[in-house]
Amino acid sequence: MKTKKNFAELLGLTAFSVSGISMVVAIVLSVINLLFYKGTNQPLDSISVIGCLAFMMPFFMFQFLMPAGLLDRFGTEIPFWGKLTFYLVVFPFANIWMLAAADAAFHFLPNFHEAMAQGASRLIVQAMREQATSQAWAIIGITYVSMISAGLLFRGIFGKKKAKIA
């Protein structure tokens, strides 16, 4: 039992450290980029986006680990209200944050800001905004459901098998 408790503490410390360090890196590099380079330094901007991705990665991984029951195996006890908060607040926020950072890195959603800057008509900009919003919500919903479903499927396949007495 002591090994499980030590591993649970190590897992929590690692997740906290990754999130904390990467968020500090993202904030510091963003401030440096804005103050000294007026937001034009692409390497600092890219590293800042990677820091934002790394900040939410532990929460994104917990989205799989909690339904899979792996945190319970390590001896981590989370009360019902804590789990409810994770499922209804933290995990959707983690998905939104991950999508925003991934879009900042790879630009796969329609960018209506560029269309506005180029002088496109208001109707085209509005259509691009609605398309980007609907695609983003679809991606967030699919990610949320698939991560939790994968965790439950993992629990069902690799969960503890109960011995049947004939």
CA 40 to mean position of chain CA atoms = 26
Please report, for the chain, the start and end positions of each structural domain, with discontinuous segments joined by +.
2-158
Q: Do residues 69 and 78 lie in contact, with contact meaning Cβ atoms separated by under 8 Å?
A: no
Alpha carbons 31 and 158: distance in angstroms, whole number: 46
Say whether pLDDT at 101 is over 70.
Answer: yes
The per-residue DSSP string of the chain comes to: -HHHHHHHHHHHHHHHHHHHHHHHHHHHHHHHHHHHHTT--HHHHHHHHHHHHHHHHHHHHHHHHHHHTHHHHTT----HHHHHHIIIIIHHHHHHHHHHHHHHHH--S--HHHHHHTT--HHHHHHHHHHHHHHHHHHHHHHHHHHHHHHHHHHHHHSPPPPPP-
Task: For residue range 65-84, list pLDDT tens digits in order.
Answer: 888 887 777 777 788 898 88
> 3-state SS string over 51-82?
HHHHHHHHHHHHHHHHHHCHHHHCCCCCCHHH
Alpha carbons 98 and 58: distance in angstroms, whole number: 11
Q: Do residues 49 and 97 lie in contact, with contact meaning Cβ atoms separated by under 8 Å?
A: no
Give the per-residue pLDDT at 1: 55
Task: For residue range 4-17, list pLDDT tens digits in order.
Answer: 667 777 877 888 89
Give the per-residue pLDDT at 143: 93
Give the per-residue pLDDT at 24: 92
Task: For residue range 102-152, list pLDDT tens digits in order.
Answer: 888 888 888 887 888 888 888 988 988 899 899 999 999 999 999 999 999
Listed in sequence order, the residues at least 6 apart from 76 whose beta carbon sits closer than 8 Å to its beta carbon are 8, 11, 12
Say whether pLDDT at 166 is over 60.
Answer: no
Mean pLDDT of 37-57: 85
Say whether pLDDT at 54 is over 60.
Answer: yes
Give the per-residue pLDDT at 148: 92
